[in-house]
Amino acid sequence: MLEAMRTAPLGDDVYREDPTVNRLEELAAKKMGKDAALLTTSGTQANLVSALSQTKRGEEVILEADAHMYYYEGTFSAVSGLIPRLVKGQRGILTPKGIESALRPPDIHFPPTSLVCIENTHNRAGGTVWTPSQTKAVFDFAHARGLKVHMDGARIFNAAIAQNIDVRELTQFADSMMFCLSKGLSAPIGSLAVGDREFIDSARRYRKMLGGGMRQAGVIAAAGIIAIEKMVDRLKDDHATAQVLAKGLMSIEGIAIDPTQVQTNIVVYDVSGLGIDGERWVDKLNESGVKAGTLEASRVRMVTHRGIEKDDIEYALSVAEKTAEETKKKN
Ligand SMILES: Cc1ncc(COP(=O)(O)O)c(C=O)c1O
């Protein structure tokens, strides 16, 4: 990636003159089975320009209650003037019935609803995967009600790899979508918003408004091209290491996890059985060089990615085991 970045042909992307960015955007659109794509600085920016392009200020957007766009992207409402309407999903997956319950009748007291956002894989639910039929059900329902669907597909290739399907089997059921070149695809920077031409023209305008128009952005895009062309297949290695991690954690008394629920590269487990809160547990792991984060009081999240090998998982498990023992002794 670094060599590709060093040697990439460059131009001014604000004027659409960067050949490497143009190549990346064409490649991304083709991979996702859509007309066009737009390079953004981050997944957050791609989601934001997508939501702005699919809606009007003051409208309501349906999101899963734990959606990244709602939970972690505070800019979403602050910048867009959109109103989030939350629907609790089953492990992050929405159903037509759930969405129906959140729809409001036309009434001047209510904001009109215009967009449904779905997240595949679902981060806070533990990297859970939407199947094509679940996605289609929501897409068909939304369209029948005159709503558009945006897919936060930050890790959409993980969802495809986990189901052994082409990613287009999932993206075909979204009017717009975004995916990240960073994360498992291993590029240092960047995400893409993807959709039809009119959508991308609008997203490009919003990206400029948000200060996301970059000049010689080919240095970023060069790594992104390698991410798409060479890094997708390796995601299955992350899923395999996540399984080893999950099974190892399951064997530690006091840790609650069901490895059959770990579908991709995100491993979520509960440490309440150890009598320690999540923050303290994470601090203890960090002291020994093992990175983790908390989702709630006792739910802990770990992610496997490029550079995390079997040895690293063994080390992480030995640290978890030692920490669990010490905690039990203290309690
Ligand atoms: C599901 C999901 N969507 C969007 C994002 C935002 O991506 P970024 O960190 O590049 O803004 C993330 C980041 O973790 C994510 O997990």
Task: Give the length of the chain.
Answer: 331
Pull the structure tokens for residue 271: 């440490």
Separation of CA 131 from chain center: 15
- The reported pLDDT for the residue numbered 2 is 98
| Atom 9 of ligand 1, nearest CA residue | 43
Q: Find the 146 Cα to ligand 1 centroid distance in Å.
A: 27
Amino acid at 79: V
CB of 45 within 8 A of CB of 220? no
- The reported pLDDT for the residue numbered 331 is 83
Q: Is the CB of 300 under 6 A from ligand 1?
A: no
> Ligand 1: which atom is nearest the Cα of residue 180?
10
DSSP state letter for 232: S
Each of the 331 residues of the chain gets a pLDDT tens digit; together they read 999 999 999 999 999 999 999 999 999 999 999 999 999 999 999 999 999 999 999 999 999 999 999 999 976 889 999 999 999 999 999 999 999 999 999 999 999 999 999 999 999 999 999 999 999 999 999 999 999 999 999 999 999 999 999 999 999 999 999 999 999 999 999 999 999 999 999 999 999 999 999 999 999 999 999 999 999 999 999 999 999 999 999 999 999 999 999 999 999 999 999 999 999 999 999 999 999 999 999 999 999 999 999 999 999 999 999 999 999 898 8
> Ligand 1: which atom is nearest the Cα of residue 122?
1
- Residue 177, beta-bridge partner list: 151, 194
Separation CA 254–CA 247 (nearest Å): 14
Q: Find the 50 Cα to ligand 1 centroid distance in Å.
A: 14
